[in-house]
C-alpha cells in the first residue's frame, strides 16, 4: 500500500537568471522565482513506499538513494519533472502528435507526421519484448511525475513552472505508454536515405558487388536478416517516412553535428 513518504533534498544553491518580462500580462520575476523547483530541504510526495534521499552535486545532477526499485524510479520521475517538466511535456506531445493543441495550426502537419509514426500495436506484446520489470519501472516513473505536478498544483503549492504560465497551458497526466515514444528514435534515423540506398544496391547487384561499390572503410559485411524481402524498397519510401513537412526532414550531412563532442575553450576560437 502506498504511504506518504518524503524525499530529502540536501541544500544546494543554484544560480539562475531570467530575462525581465516584456508583456504586461507576463508573470513577474518574483512569481517566476517562487515557482522554481525545491532542491533543498524536504519534499513530501504521496506514492513513495519509504523515504528517498536525493543528493545534488555541484553541477545540479541528482543522485537518488532509495530502498526499493519502485521508489528509485518514482523519485527519478519527480527529479526529472523538477528539472525538465516543460521540455518533457513538449516531447510527449511531439510523440503523440498533439503540439498543435498548444502551438496552433502551424504545427498541424508536424502532428500529422508524428501520428503516422505512432505505435498502435498490442501494448502487452510490446512490454513483453522488454525486461520483465519494464512496465513497473515506467509506471513508477510516470507516477512520480504526476505526484510532483500534484504537489505544485495543491492548495498553497508554488504552482507550475513559469514556462507553463507564459505559454498558457498545463501539463497532462503522464502514463507509462507515454515513454514508448518513436519520435525520439526518429531523430536518430538521419541516415535513412543512405541505408535505403545500400539496400537498393544490395538488391540490384548483390552483396559482393554492392560492398565494392559502397566502399566501406573498414569493410562492413552486408548481411541482411534472413528472409528479409527487399522487393518492396523504393526511393519513394522516404517521402512516406519523412512526410510532407520540411521542418522534420533530415539535415544535410555538411550541417550535422553531435552532442557527444566536448571541446575545451583553450582549443577553440
- Using the Cα atoms of residue 252, residue 258, residue 261 and residue 263 in order, give the sign of their dihedral: positive
Please tell me what DSSP assigns to residue 87.
H
Whether residue 133 lies inside any domain: the answer is yes
Locus of grid cell 498533439: 98
Q: Which three cell numbers stand for residue 169?
A: 497551458
Domain boundary, last residue among 186, 201, 228: 186
Domains identified in the chain, total number: 2
Across the range 234-241, mean pLDDT stands at 69
pLDDT at 52 over 60: yes
Locus of grid cell 498543435: 100
Which positions are catalytic?
Answer: 258
Q: Which residue has the higher pLDDT, 124 or 268?
A: 124
The answer on 154 and 45 residing in a single domain is yes
Highest mean pLDDT out of 68-77, 104-113, 196-205: 68-77
CA distances in angstroms from 228 to 2, 233, 260, listed in the order given: 48, 11, 33
pLDDT reported for residue 32: 62
The answer on 170 and 52 residing in a single domain is yes
The answer on 49 and 158 residing in a single domain is yes
pLDDT tens digit string along 138-174? 999 999 999 999 999 999 888 899 899 889 999 999 9
| Helix residue spans in the chain (DSSP H) | 29-34, 69-96, 100-103, 108-117, 123-128, 134-153, 162-167, 182-186, 192-214, 237-242
pLDDT tens digit string along 176-235? 999 887 766 666 666 777 888 888 888 889 888 988 888 888 888 888 778 888 888 887
Please state, in angstroms and rounded to a whole number, the distance separating the CA atoms of residues 234 and 99. Answer: 31
pLDDT at 102 over 60: yes
The answer on 87 and 30 residing in a single domain is yes
Overall pTM > 0.75: no
Please state, in angstroms and rounded to a whole number, the distance separating the CA atoms of residues 260 and 269. Answer: 19
pLDDT reported for residue 23: 44
How confident is the prediction for the chain on average, in pLDDT?
Answer: 79
pLDDT reported for residue 144: 98
Q: Which of 68, 184, 183 is nearest to 137 (CA)?
A: 68
Please state, in angstroms and rounded to a whole number, the distance separating the CA atoms of residues 146 and 88. Answer: 12
Q: What's the CATH number where 121 sits?
A: 1.10.439.10
The answer on 234 and 129 residing in a single domain is no
Between CA 236 and CA 240, with CA 238 as vertex, the angle to 5 degrees is 80
pLDDT reported for residue 235: 73
Domain span holding position 217: 192-250
The answer on 109 and 26 residing in a single domain is yes
pLDDT reported for residue 185: 67
- Of 60-64, 133-137, 144-148, 237-241, least confident by mean pLDDT is 237-241
Please, which pLDDT band fits residue 8 given cuts at 50, 70 and 90?
A: very low
Amino acid at each position: 500500500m502506498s504511504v506518504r513518504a518524503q524525499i530529502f533534498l540536501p541544500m544546494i544553491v543554484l544560480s539562475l537568471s531570467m530575462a525581465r518580462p516584456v508583456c504586461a500580462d507576463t508573470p513577474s520575476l518574483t512569481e517566476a522565482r517562487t515557482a522554481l523547483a525545491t532542491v533543498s530541504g524536504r519534499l513530501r510526495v504521496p506514492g513513495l513506499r519509504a523515504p528517498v534521499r536525493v543528493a545534488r552535486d555541484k553541477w545540479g545532477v541528482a543522485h537518488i538513494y532509495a530502498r526499493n526499485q519502485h521508489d528509485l524510479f518514482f523519485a527519478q520521475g519527480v527529479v526529472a519533472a523538477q528539472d525538465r517538466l516543460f521540455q518533457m511535456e513538449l516531447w510527449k506531445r511531439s510523440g503523440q502528435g498533439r503540439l498543435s493543441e498548444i502551438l496552433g495550426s502551424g504545427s498541424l502537419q508536424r502532428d500529422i507526421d508524428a501520428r503516422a509514426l505512432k505505435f498502435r500495436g498490442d501494448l502487452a506484446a510490446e512490454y513483453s519484448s522488454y525486461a520483465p520489470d519494464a512496465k513497473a519501472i515506467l509506471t513508477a516513473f510516470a507516477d512520480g511525475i504526476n505526484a510532483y505536478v500534484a504537489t505544485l498544483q495543491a492548495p498553497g503549492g508554488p504552482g507550475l513552472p513559469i514556462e507553463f504560465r507564459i505559454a498558457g497551458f498545463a501539463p497532462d497526466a503522464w502514463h507509462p505508454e507515454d515513454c514508448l515514444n518513436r519520435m525520439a528514435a526518429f531523430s536518430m534515423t538521419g541516415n535513412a536515405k543512405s541505408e535505403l540506398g545500400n539496400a537498393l544496391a544490395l538488391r540490384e547487384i548483390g552483396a559482393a558487388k554492392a560492398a565494392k561499390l559502397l566502399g566501406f572503410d573498414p569493410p562492413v559485411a552486408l548481411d541482411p536478416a534472413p528472409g528479409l524481402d527487399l522487393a518492396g524498397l523504393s526511393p519513394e519510401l522516404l517521402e512516406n517516412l519523412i512526410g510532407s513537412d520540411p521542418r522534420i526532414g533530415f539535415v544535410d550531412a555538411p550541417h550535422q553535428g553531435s552532442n557527444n563532442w566536448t571541446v575545451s575553450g583553450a582549443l577553440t576560437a
